[in-house]
Structure 1
Amino acid sequence: MAAPLTVLVDKTPLLGPTIDTGMRIGWMLRMARLVAGEGRFDRLEDMAAVVETNVTALHRIETGQARRGVVVDAYERALGLPAGALRAPTDVMCRHFGNGPVDRDPGQVVDTAAGLSALTDLVLDGEPDGSEWLTWARAMSQPFALGLPHRLAVPLVGRLARELGRSQGRAYPIRHEALALLRRSGYGPVVLEAVQEIVSDPHAQMVTGVLSVLAEDASPEAALWLAQQLHVPRMQLFVSATIALEKMALISPDPDFWVPLVDLIAAAYESTEPGTPHWECLSHLMRLIPPEDRRRLGDWQPPHPPAPLGIETLRSASEPESGVWQECVERARRVCREVGIAYQPMLARLLFDAAFGPYDVRAYATFALLSGLPTITVPLHEQIAEIATHHHDPGVVLRARARLSGSRLGSIPRAARGWVDHENPQHREVGMILLGAAGEKLPEPHTERALRGDLAGANAALQGLGLAGDPRLRDIVADETHPELVRHNAAWWLRAGSRVVDDTDHVAR
């Protein structure tokens, strides 16, 4: 009889400065073994035999005490998962939060002229999936890597960056990791050029992913460029730059990271109006700046108070008896019952970070961590959609709705299907985006009403239509009764292509 499993818990404070990275990646691997892939391995001994290691070593890996990339790769093969489905979130978590175990056995990468040539031919002439992009990026990003001429690297990196923006499901975290490796390598400036070229198109959509990749290397040049985007009125670009700066500050080893940016952020805050998304984003950034760096502004006084955190019980959320935490526990129990596993305290913690917590980087790292576990992720997203639909606290609703919109699940929770008819315009907008991300057709009357309304609603409709590859985009471009900006944004989708997914027989373009 197998020994009882150790209960894996992240005991760091909910609102504390860091998380237990090792425990989280260990839990992900255990859950992959128990619920994901083509077959499950209830006994650790059986998995140890398949991945060719011993039970003690595997137990240390599954409890976050050790990390071996070759073993994570072996889990993917044993469970029938795409290469990178578990490795990419593992590496992302350890890189972002800095307290995970060191990878003692990352494995071999392609390091021969013939091997690199074959990989480059594949991404140059074929239709690579995320795993193939990641294999190529690993080879390209090594310190000893054979150089690729600039004229060949630029179009390949640009193509990968453009695919990333439209990726859904597993296609997103794997491509994100591929581009992140290149950003942190000698090809980092090429990635910066590719991102800036994408953003330079005033009609570009789906820029959050590429700005997130830019934050993987906290270079002064990239940080300054991101801070300058805070003065741009384009809402999606503005919000994406805010999240990227939060992530860059987390990754940066420089204690003075914020110093060159303080004046730009303060100036951007002065131009905001209370109650607007710009005000909320800049209030969040101002909170992230250490007090000693804010003092560099001298006598500067903000023209209006910052936006509230939006969660009335947030201060007490770290207490076991708090309403927020108890709700996370109960919803996690529902997910576990649906999946058919024992209650997982870690899942309650991940739900808190994804739906309630104030840190966007933790939320999206949680979605990346869960991307390799669709059996768990789908019902968990259902719980987040219910929170965003019914919660009594409007701040919680706003946060959960925004997080779900950026989750890249690639399917739509049942609770969110009715959002296109919701009385709240923000719910209607996210509902259209989620439908398109799932590849489903947007209902005609709702789409037409959104296109004829304000720009936020029109862009949400265009995003849903664009992700789904809807032929109505051509009619919108040709219809001169639509505002010029709407027609140009629709034309961008025709140029860019529809959503990119890897979990079907082809990559949708």
Structure 2
Amino acid sequence: MGSTTIGCDQRIAWLLTSARLLNPDPELARRDGFIKALADQGIKIDNSRISRWESGLHPVSGQVAATYEQALGLTEGSLVAVAAGLRRTFGNGPAPREGALRGADLTDGDMDRLLELIDEGKGTGAHWLRLVGQLGTYDRVYLRQQEWAALSARLVQELAVSVGVGFVRRYEAAAGLIRHPNAQRHLTRAIGGFVMNPDTQVVAPVLSLLTEIADEAAGDLVLRMLTSEDKNLRSAASSVAAVKVSRGHFGAHALPQLESHVVGSLRRGESLDGRLDSFDLAVQLPDESWERAMGGLRNRRAFDLVIGSRRGGELVPTQQTAAVVQRLSAAVQRDTPTHSPHENDAMLRRLLRESLLHAHKPRRHHAALLLAATPYAPAVAKHCQDLATHSNDLMAARALTVLMRVGHRMGRSRVLLQSLAETRPTIRARALVNLGLNPEPIKPAEADALLGHLDEHSRPVERHATMFALGMNGGTTLKKLAKSDTEWMARSATWWLDQGPALHDSDAALDQIGAQT
């Protein structure tokens, strides 16, 4: 699981290969047909170069991924953003050269139009990728202070509620922007202002941007959030801290606070699913730091789980879940249309296992995004919905989390049913989040049924997830709830009304502004 044999380049190569071989068009699935399609678009590529791209033996540039998108008729940025995320997070070699396929720079007029669209709230994730890609070609970019602030605030606000490929593209744009020396402090301020609002309902997707920089101020902000009274903020900060620890962003002065947080969290008798972010932090602590922390633990089961994950890299031992993952992989491959006889896809099985069970959140997250960007996604969604009813709380919760990444296409009714029928609070909360990510509006009767499940005994995680589902869908229900006598409900609904509903990018009318980044 932790092997570097199947590294970043091999994963990107698999992404391109599966996108081509499983494309609905049989001509594009054939290498000679793909070469012809490229030639029809003015791109002269020979068979040997495609072989090098799809072998994983040579790094693949972002422009090559963009070429595959163009030739295969895929959403702009759908492969580029996923490949960029993998290379940014796990790449440890030299960045690949773009070569002759690099598109032309954007003109001043193109840049003006991009900024206008984004300022008007009409920009998609593709627009953000183009803009940040262009800004990244310059070592220095001048904008007035208020322009940087407005641009950063807009991106953070959109990132919080964007869905699917729209989220992946915006996140990669934000990850590029926060590393730019002229933009970093402005985006960091926008992140801090957004997540520190006591009524903010979406924290983790925004706060995770702080993992991209080793800035001391960003680290201090994460440490402060670990002591917040807001459980959602503490949980998100734990996840970010785990990544920053793994990347060496914290100095020795931060370790005592991190150790104290881990001990306090793992002492509680919650399920592993309910404390997964703190568990991740415990797994990532340096050896000497973990030695000090484990002396304060009284929960033997938590201790054994952390020790097992630190050694094996998984949330649970392989032998306990190998059969489940094997069946899942076989079912996904069987239900994915192909133009040739099925051969066992070892990478598919590996990614399914990582997305469900890897001990480190970035590995789980990027494995799921990889699956979501391939033609396997519909079958992964279908069988994750089946797995979401598993009697094991952790497997059910992890299946629903993967479902958040890959989407559930035509399975919305099943998600709604589980949101209403599930009795396990943390599992039900994940079902509700999936419901909020679905583009189909929640009907008034459905909203009433969801709210009817809340009472004075409902756990905060269920309350928060219910408001997430309603908030992401918008609708008249929020206006009623904003006037509620229940304070937490009124404040949550008011925040959602101010924030606005989910962003589901539609690139049907995407302006042809310059070349793909």
Alignment TM-score > 0.5, same fold: yes
2:53 maps to 1:61: yes
Q: Which residue number in structure 1 is paired with residue 31 of structure 2? A: 44
2:161 maps to 1:166: yes
Q: Which moved more, 1:498-507 or 1:141-150?
A: 498-507
Letter in 2 for 1:55: N
In the superposition, relative to structure 1, how do residues 188 and 449 fare at CA in structure 2: closer, same or farther (>3 Å)?
A: same
Shift of 1:332: 1.5
In the superposition, relative to structure 1, how do residues 203 and 77 fare at CA in structure 2: closer, same or farther (>3 Å)?
A: same
Aligned pairs for 1:131-170 (under 5 A) are 131-170=126-165
- Of the candidates 448, 453, 458, which is equivalent to residue 449 of structure 1? 453
CA distance in 2, matches of 1:405, 1:42: 27
- Say which SS state the counterpart of residue 29 (structure 2) adopts: coil
CA distance in 1, matches of 2:227, 2:477: 33
- Of the candidates 67, 70, 75, which is equivalent to residue 63 of structure 2? 70
Shift of 1:183: 0.7
- Say which SS state the counterpart of residue 465 (structure 1) adopts: helix
Q: Which residue number in structure 1 is paired with residue 215 of structure 2? A: 219
Q: Which residue number in structure 2 is paired with residue 328 of structure 1? A: 325
Q: Is the 8 A contact 2:381 2:409 kept in 1?
A: no
In the superposition, relative to structure 1, how do residues 457 and 84 fare at CA in structure 2: closer, same or farther (>3 Å)?
A: same
Q: Which residue number in structure 2 is paired with residue 11 of structure 1? A: none
Q: Is the 8 A contact 1:93 1:365 kept in 2?
A: yes
Q: Which 5+ residue runs of structure 1 have no aligned equivalent? A: 1-13
- Of the candidates 229, 236, 239, which is equivalent to residue 232 of structure 2? 236
Letter in 2 for 1:46: G
Letter in 2 for 1:328: V
Aligned pairs for 1:235-314 (under 5 A) are 235-250=231-246, 252=247, 254=248, 257=250, 259-272=252-265, 273-276=267-270, 280-294=276-290, 301-302=296-297, 305=300, 306=302, 309=305
CA distance in 1, matches of 2:363, 2:313: 19
Q: Is the 8 A contact 1:37 1:79 kept in 2?
A: no
In the superposition, relative to structure 1, how do residues 322 and 271 fare at CA in structure 2: closer, same or farther (>3 Å)?
A: closer
CA distance in 2, matches of 1:473, 1:237: 23
Q: Which residue number in structure 2 is paired with residue 409 of structure 1? A: 407
In the superposition, relative to structure 1, how do residues 311 and 322 fare at CA in structure 2: closer, same or farther (>3 Å)?
A: farther
Q: Which residue number in structure 2 is paired with residue 383 of structure 1? A: 383
Letter in 2 for 1:53: I
Letter in 2 for 1:370: L
CA distance in 2, matches of 1:366, 1:239: 21
CA distance in 2, matches of 1:334, 1:112: 48
Q: Which residue number in structure 2 is paired with residue 490 of structure 1? A: 493
Q: Which moved more, 1:76-85 or 1:55-64?
A: 76-85
Higher relative contact order (CA 8 A, sep 6+): 2
TM-score by length of 2: 0.84
CA distance in 1, matches of 2:93, 2:373: 19
Q: Is the 8 A contact 2:158 2:503 kept in 1?
A: yes
Q: Which residue number in structure 2 is paired with residue 6 of structure 1? A: none
Shift of 1:417: 4.3
Q: Is the 8 A contact 1:22 1:65 kept in 2?
A: yes
2:177 maps to 1:182: yes
Q: Is the 8 A contact 1:329 1:348 kept in 2?
A: yes
CA distance in 1, matches of 2:318, 2:116: 57
Shift of 1:198: 0.5
2:74 maps to 1:81: yes
Alignment coverage as a number of residue pairs: 485
Shift of 1:164: 0.7
Q: Which residue number in structure 1 is paired with residue 11 of structure 2? A: 24
In the superposition, relative to structure 1, how do residues 218 and 388 fare at CA in structure 2: closer, same or farther (>3 Å)?
A: farther
CA distance in 1, matches of 2:479, 2:294: 54
Seq. identity, %: 22
Q: Is the 8 A contact 1:92 1:177 kept in 2?
A: yes
In the superposition, relative to structure 1, how do residues 268 and 464 fare at CA in structure 2: closer, same or farther (>3 Å)?
A: same
Letter in 1 for 2:20: R
CA distance in 1, matches of 2:484, 2:315: 53
Shift of 1:349: 0.6
Q: Which residue number in structure 2 is paired with residue 418 of structure 1? A: 417
Q: Is the 8 A contact 1:317 1:324 kept in 2?
A: no
Letter in 1 for 2:31: L
Letter in 2 for 1:184: R
2:437 maps to 1:437: yes
Q: Which moved more, 1:40-49 or 1:463-472?
A: 40-49
Q: Which moved more, 1:216-225 or 1:267-276?
A: 267-276
In the superposition, relative to structure 1, how do residues 430 and 300 fare at CA in structure 2: closer, same or farther (>3 Å)?
A: closer
- Say which SS state the counterpart of residue 309 (structure 1) adopts: helix
Q: Is the 8 A contact 1:310 1:395 kept in 2?
A: no
Q: Is the 8 A contact 1:331 1:383 kept in 2?
A: yes
Shift of 1:71: 1.8
Shift of 1:179: 0.6
Q: Which moved more, 1:495-504 or 1:405-414?
A: 405-414
Shift of 1:195: 0.5
Shift of 1:472: 0.6
Q: Which residue number in structure 2 is paired with residue 397 of structure 1? A: 396
Shift of 1:138: 1.2
Q: Which residue number in structure 1 is paired with residue 190 of structure 2? A: 194
CA distances 1:26-68 after superposition (whole Å, capped 9, x unpaired): 1111111123477861212222341421111111111212213
Shift of 1:17: 6.9
Q: Which residue number in structure 2 is paired with residue 119 of structure 1? A: 114
Q: Which residue number in structure 2 is paired with residue 5 of structure 1? A: none
Letter in 1 for 2:55: T
Letter in 1 for 2:231: M
Q: Is the 8 A contact 2:14 2:54 kept in 1?
A: yes
CA distance in 2, matches of 1:311, 1:358: 11
Q: Which moved more, 1:323-332 or 1:306-315?
A: 306-315
Q: Which moved more, 1:417-426 or 1:304-313?
A: 304-313
Q: Which moved more, 1:486-495 or 1:214-223?
A: 214-223
Letter in 2 for 1:35: L
In the superposition, relative to structure 1, how do residues 271 and 337 fare at CA in structure 2: closer, same or farther (>3 Å)?
A: closer
CA distance in 1, matches of 2:316, 2:262: 33
